[in-house]
């Protein structure tokens, strides 16, 4: 069975775009692959969180992914910093990662521009740490969005370089995971574009009903159809798209029909959409809260993941040390 590795940054909460995107992919992959999913807390240190924030964020993200369906019986779910082998492999890979190539990485250049007062070495070597995350489990596949493609390219380069230096096909060269059918992209409620954290237009799984109602009622629409069967504007189509994932098919058909015959009232559409989002997210929100509060369960999940991940990582480190020439006397 092929191995998949993916890291989850412990920043922010899951919104519907994440839920129908990355999370859905994880849920499919955990059934068919040997999956390692981890919370990337080493990576998050580049922004210098307080100890309380760091721990709280890791716990929140873990609770949200578990509530959304990540299954510790199927996938190995762990905390990156529980695997010091990753730090060791990073150090070793750093010796063959060159300043020039690290400085040329788009994400480094972006970060250096965004936070000119904190251009630390961790930012520069971020792709090396990510490579260590991936190859420590000999991953063949990595699910990556557009923003991580270059980092995966670096991983492939570092893995191939290691193999070349030590003259062994030791690390597989990981491929981007290719999802057969196209995923539904969840749009925002602000008229155009996707739902995203940085866009500030997220409908979050943890949003309380009152918050969801408020956000949906403020959604951008248009001035309404003036002739039958006219083309649906982007803003209204976005509401239909969200409806297509949270509402009953009849509900969507009903409002599309009303649009087509020009009798639609956007207030009614929004009210219905808000209620359907609430019905959809309510059980997940309750689960997030329950898991977040369940110290014993979280501890069990984390320990189980740590043990499984450690088994894989420690074998790699043992072999890498031997290959490099750290041999016992």
Q: Which residues are catalytic?
A: 111, 194, 197
Judged by CB under 6 A, the residue of 60, 76, 148, 312 near ligand TRP is: 148
| Piece of 49-57, 69-77, 127-135, 183-191 that binds ligand TRP (CB under 6 A) | 127-135
Could you tell me which residues are beta bridge partners of residue 54?
Answer: none
In the complex with ligand TRP, the residue whose CB is nearer, 39 or 274, is 39
Task: Please tell me whether residue 188 binds ligand TRP under the rule CB under 6 A.
Answer: no
Alpha-carbon distance of 241 to 267, in angstroms, equals 17
- For ligand TRP, the binding residues in 150-169 under the rule CB under 6 A are 151
108 versus 266: smaller Cβ distance to ligand TRP:
108
Binding test (CB under 6 A) with ligand TRP, winner from 5, 23, 186, 203: 5
Gap between the Cα atoms of 75 and 63, Å rounded: 15
| H-only helix segments in 96-193 | 99-103, 106-114, 121-124, 126-135, 149-165
Closer to ligand TRP by CB, 85 or 133: give it. 133
| Near ligand TRP in 14-53, by CB under 6 A | 40, 43
Q: Which is nearer to ligand TRP, 10 or 225 (CB)?
A: 10
77 makes contact with ligand TRP (CB under 6 A): no
- Closest distance to ligand TRP from the beta carbon of 80 (Å): 7
**Of 43 and 59, which has the nearer Cβ to ligand TRP?**
43
**Polymer length in residues for the chain:** 329
Place of tokens 């990540």: 70
| E strand or H helix that includes residue 76 | strand 76-79
Contact predicate 205/285, CB 8 Å: yes
For residue 41, the minimal CB distance to ligand TRP (Å) is: 10
Task: List the one residue from 134, 203, 236, 317 that touches ligand TRP (CB under 6 A).
Answer: 134
Quote the tokens at residue 266.
């956007």
The tokens of 40 are what?
Answer: 């990337």
CB 151 within 8 A of CB 127: yes
Partnered with residue 142 across adjacent β-strands are 176
Report the distance separating Cα 320 and Cα 162, nearest Å.
10
Per CB under 6 A, 7 contacts ligand TRP: yes
Residues at the site binding ligand TRP, with contacts judged by CB under 6 A: 5-7, 9, 40, 43, 130, 133-134, 142, 148, 151
């Amino acid at each position: 069975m092929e191995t998949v590795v993916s890291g989850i940054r412990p920043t922010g909460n899951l919104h519907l775009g994440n839920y129908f995107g990355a999370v859905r992919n994880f849920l499919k992959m955990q059934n068919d692959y040997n999956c390692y999913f981890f919370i990337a807390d080493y990576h998050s240190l580049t922004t210098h969180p307080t100890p309380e924030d760091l721990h709280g964020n890791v716990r929140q993200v873990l609770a949200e992914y578990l509530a959304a369906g990540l299954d510790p019986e199927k996938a190995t779910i762990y905390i990156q910093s529980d695997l010091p082998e990753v730090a060791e492999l990073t150090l070793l890979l750093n010796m063959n990662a060159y300043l020039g190539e690290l400085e040329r990485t788009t994400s480094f250049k972006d970060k250096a521009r965004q936070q000119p007062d904190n251009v630390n070495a961790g930012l520069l070597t971020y792709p090396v740490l990510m490579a260590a995350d991936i190859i420590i489990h000999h991953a063949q596949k990595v699910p990556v969005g557009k923003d991580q493609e270059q980092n995966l390219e670096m991983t492939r380069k570092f893995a191939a370089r290691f193999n070349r230096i030590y003259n062994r096909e030791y690390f597989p060269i990981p491929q981007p995971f290719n999802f057969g059918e196209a995923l539904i992209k969840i749009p925002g409620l602000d008229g155009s574009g996707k739902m995203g954290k940085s866009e500030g237009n997220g409908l979050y799984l943890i949003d309380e009903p009152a918050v969801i109602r408020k956000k949906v009622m403020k959604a951008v629409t248009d001035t309404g159809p003036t002739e039958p069967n006219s083309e649906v504007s982007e803003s209204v189509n976005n509401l239909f798209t969200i409806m297509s994932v949270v509402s009953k098919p009849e509900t969507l058909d009903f409002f599309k029909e009303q649009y087509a015959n020009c009798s639609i009232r956007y207030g009614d559409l929004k009210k219905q959409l808000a209620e359907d989002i609430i019905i959809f997210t309510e059980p997940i929100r309750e689960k997030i809260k329950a898991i977040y509060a369940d110290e014993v369960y979280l501890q069990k999940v984390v320990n189980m993941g740590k043990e499984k991940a450690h088994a894989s990582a420690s074998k790699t480190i043992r072999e890498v040390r031997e290959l490099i020439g750290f041999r016992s006397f």
